[in-house]
Amino acid sequence: MPTQSPALRVVVIGGGIFGVSSALQLARRGADVTLVTEGSFAAGASGRSLSWLNSSRRRSLPYHHLRMAGIDRYRTLAARHPGLPWLRFDGGLTWDAEDGTNEIAAAYAYERSLGYDSTWLQADEIAAATPGVDPRTVTSPGAIFNPGEGWVDLPSLIRHLLPAFEAHGGHMVAEAGPARVETANGRVTGVVAAEAGRFEADAVLVAAGPATPKLVAGNGITIPDATPVSLLLETEPVETQLRAVLNTPRVAMRPTPRGTLVLDSAWSEEEVVTRPDGSHEVRQSTLDGLLAEASKVLAGNPALRLARYGVGPKPIPLDGEPVFGAVAGIAGYHVAFSHSGATLGLIAGELLAEEIVTGAPHPMLAPFRAARFG
């Protein structure tokens, strides 16, 4: 009587979108998967992300193609589950500052050259394309509207994926504390979590968000890191017609399923003070200033009141490109580290799981190996 080979034992480290998505895809492919997270699920960068689904502006062609595949998977999800309140495709609107850094004309030409759906609008044309914007704040070169873009609420998506992971036999271990990967004779052997003990593994995926470079460095793997501090504000519920994601010189924002808005910006993140112990201080003037900037770009300039904010590191590799896939020199060791967690969340999980289970490198991930850093 033929015997069945034992299932591949995989430990995934990280409770954000990359970890949860990959764990589900691995379980669907028959792996014996343990998903280990230091704290609770979606408690890190995935819980404070603007989560704009896009491939606008300029980046490498392989990265653009990967992002477009990522958007495709969200459209598939939306088709299978119509009416999800936390996944919307109402477009994205962006404009630049009124100075020499304005690249709207060049960005529009580049996007059109790729076949990326883009419309160049002047201020008085915006209301007909997407509502809720005060046209007086749009700079003279105008704005780009990308009707195929959208947004996802990542904590809601993670809550959607976890029951399916369990239904496929996956094991979840939350509040496990910091983890490390054990290796022997050139391959992974397991994961040790400070509060949860040791887990045997034939393969490991490190998807620990901003903690990833330091974690993999413990195994001699180098990922140059440009991780900054992120600051995401959520307002109290507000009456607005805004549906699109806005990316403007002083504020980026989108609606939420709760009738609120979430906001971030580069300047407000730069004002966050990081204390010597690694904690963060956010000034009231920064919070008030970001709310004021958001009010300026909304039609009717509604008063916005702060409900909550999240602050912490935002994962970005030094060269801005994702780091995905198998690590050279340590069999069974895989990594996922990228800024664009929302756009790539579903496709990255799918491609990583396929690589881990089959052992065959996926060509779409070839440009994004950690080996490019030497």
Question: pLDDT, tens digit, for every residue of 218-267?
Answer: 999 999 999 999 999 999 999 999 999 999 999 999 999 999 999 999 99
Question: pLDDT, tens digit, for every residue of 95-139?
Answer: 999 999 999 999 999 999 999 999 999 999 999 999 999 999 999
29-39: average pLDDT:
98
Q: Which residue has the tokens 């808005």?
A: 261
* pLDDT, position 192: 98
High-pLDDT (> 90) share of the chain, %: 98
Q: Which CATH class name applies to 9-47+155-223+318-373?
A: alpha beta
Question: pLDDT, tens digit, for every residue of 327-343?
Answer: 999 999 999 999 999 99
pLDDT bucket at 372, cuts 50 / 70 / 90? very high
278-298: average pLDDT:
97
189-210: average pLDDT:
98
Question: pLDDT, tens digit, for every residue of 153-193?
Answer: 999 999 999 999 999 999 999 999 999 999 999 999 999 99
Rounded to whole angstroms, how far apart are CA atoms 97 and 103?
9
Residue 355 in this model has a pLDDT that exceeds 80: yes
The DSSP element (H or E) to which 204 belongs, if any, is strand 203-206
Q: What is the CATH number of domain 92-147+228-313?
A: 3.30.9.10
Q: Comparing C-alpha atoms, which of 178, 157, 191 is closest to residue 33? A: 191
Residue 302 in this model has a pLDDT that exceeds 70: yes
Residue 2 in this model has a pLDDT that exceeds 80: no
What stretch(es) of the chain map to CATH 3.50.50.60?
9-47+155-223+318-373
In DSSP terms, which residues pair with 172 in a beta bridge?
35
- The answer to whether 185 touches 122, Cβ cutoff 8 Å, is no
**Vertex 252: Cα angle to 121 and 267 (nearest 5):** 120
What stretch(es) of the chain map to CATH 3.30.9.10?
92-147+228-313
Dihedral, 369, 216, 69, 228 alpha carbons, nearest 10: -110
The dihedral sign for the CA sequence 55, 141, 286, 273:
positive
* pLDDT, position 4: 53
In DSSP terms, which residues pair with 203 in a beta bridge?
10
